[in-house]
Structure 1
C-alpha cells in the first residue's frame, strides 16, 4: 500500500519513515501542504491512506485537504496534531479522522488498517 505523509518536523519524518518501512508500506513524504497537494495530484489514485499534519509551513493541512478533496480521487486522510482544538475544522475540511499527537505506533498501525482503501500486504 502507498501512503502519503505530510509532516514538517524532521524527527517525526524519520520516525514515520522507520515505521512505514518496518510495516512494509511504500510512502511519499511531503514537508508542507503545498507538497502534499502536489503529491496527491501527481499520483492520483495511488494512495490508500494519508497522515496529514495540521500545522505546516507554506500551507497547513486543513487547506491542503480542501484542495485534495476537490481535485483528486478519494483516499482516507487522518489529521495529526498536538492541538485537539483543530479537530472540528479538520473533519469539516474533509479529513476522515483526527489523531492527537503523540500516539503509540500500534495505534497508528491499527488506524491505517482500519481506514485504508487498500488492504495491507
Structure 2
C-alpha cells in the first residue's frame, strides 16, 4: 500500500470515545492533508456542511450520542451522494450492515480498528479497485 496516494486527502473523522479519538486523530493527521475531528454525529454533520474543506472521505463510529453514524451518513449523502463513507463499529448486528448498505456506505470495519485496514480501504477506493457498496 502506498500512503503517498493518501497525503492529499481531506478526512472527516467522527468518534465519540475521546481516547480512541485522540489516538487515531494523531495517526490520521500524519497521513492525510487535513483531518477534521468531530465528537458526535451532529457535530460531524455540521462540519461536513459548514467546513471550508471539501472532504474526500468520511470515517465514523456508529454508536454516538446526538446523531449516530448511520443517521449522520444518511444526511451527508443527501448533501453529497458521491462522498465515500466508512463506518467503524464494535457492533456487528445484521441490521447495521443492511442499513449501511442501503444508504451507500463504502466499507464497514469492525473494532478494534486496524489502522492499516482503514488505510487500505481508502487506498483501494482511490485506486478504483472496489465498488462503493459494501459486500454482505
Shorter-chain TM-score tier? 0.7 to 0.9
Among 24, 27, 32, which residue is 1:16 paired with?
24
Question: Could you list the runs of 5+ residues in structure 1 that have no partner in the other structure?
Answer: none
1:76 maps to: 84
User: Looking at both structures, which has the greater relative contact order when contacts are Cα pairs under 8 Å and sequence separation is at least 6?
Assistant: 1
Q: How many residues align?
A: 117
Distance 2:103 2:57 in 1: 16
Cα distance change on mapping 1:45 and 1:28 into 2, 3 Å: closer
Higher alpha-carbon deviation: 22-31 or 8-17: 22-31
Give 3-state SS (helix, strand or coil) of 1:84's partner.
coil
The answer to whether the Cα contact below 8 Å between 2:38 and 2:44 also exists between their aligned partners in 1 is yes
Give 3-state SS (helix, strand or coil) of 2:113's partner.
coil
Runs of 4+ residues deviating >2 angstroms: none
Question: TM-score, length-normalised on structure 1?
Answer: 0.86
Question: TM-score, length-normalised on structure 2?
Answer: 0.77
Larger Cα Rg: Structure 1 or Structure 2?
2
The answer to whether the Cα contact below 8 Å between 1:80 and 1:99 also exists between their aligned partners in 2 is yes
1:110 maps to: 120
Alpha-carbon shift at residue 54 of structure 1 (Å)? 0.6
Give 3-state SS (helix, strand or coil) of 1:95's partner.
coil
